[in-house]
Amino acid sequence: MLLLTQDLRARLIANAAAHHEAMQRGLREPDPAPVVKFFNPCGAATWLFSELDADGDTLFGLCDLGFGCPELGSASLTEIAAVTLPLGLTIERDLCFEGRFPLTVYADAARLIGRITEKEARLEAAAAARANELPSP
């Protein structure tokens, strides 16, 4: 399976460029919704990515290898694509995934329950808690 279409790649690169520009200008870092979800069809590993560096390989997002401690970080697209699983399976892209909340909301919810979730109630609760913590602009 093709993990990244041209459209997904362009969206991920645009998010990375916006992040880089904000850092260069001393502005608040953007918090985009994840663009793509990868998963292990044989196990618990799941990744939600929001950025792709200019090198075309380094992805940034929420990584959950299924050990109960999801975290924000970077991963190599090349390494993820090279994973071979039993029965000749590989890491897959969730064709139905659509990020509805900022990446930090997914990260907050995942830390609370120990895994990435797409449950609307969990994500809404994490979004509300985050909104109550952030100072007004």
| Count: domains in the chain | 1
72, part of any domain = yes
Share of the chain above pLDDT 90, in %: 93
Given a cut of 70, whether residue 110 has pLDDT beyond it is yes
16, part of any domain = yes
Count of C-beta atoms within a 10 Å radius of residue 71 = 11
List the domain range (segments joined by +) for residue 89.
6-100
pLDDT score of 88 = 92
Gap between the Cα atoms of 45 and 66, Å rounded: 5
pLDDT score of 65 = 95
54, part of any domain = yes
- Identify the CA nearest to 63 among candidates 36, 26, 83: 36
118, part of any domain = no
Gap between the Cα atoms of 59 and 52, Å rounded: 4
38, part of any domain = yes
pLDDT score of 132 = 86
131, part of any domain = no
Angle (nearest 5°) at CA 61 between 44 and 94:
50
Q: Work out the average pLDDT over 90-100.
A: 97
127, part of any domain = no
48, part of any domain = yes
Q: What's the whole-model pTM score?
A: 0.93
Gap between the Cα atoms of 26 and 35, Å rounded: 25
Gap between the Cα atoms of 92 and 125, Å rounded: 28
pLDDT score of 1 = 74
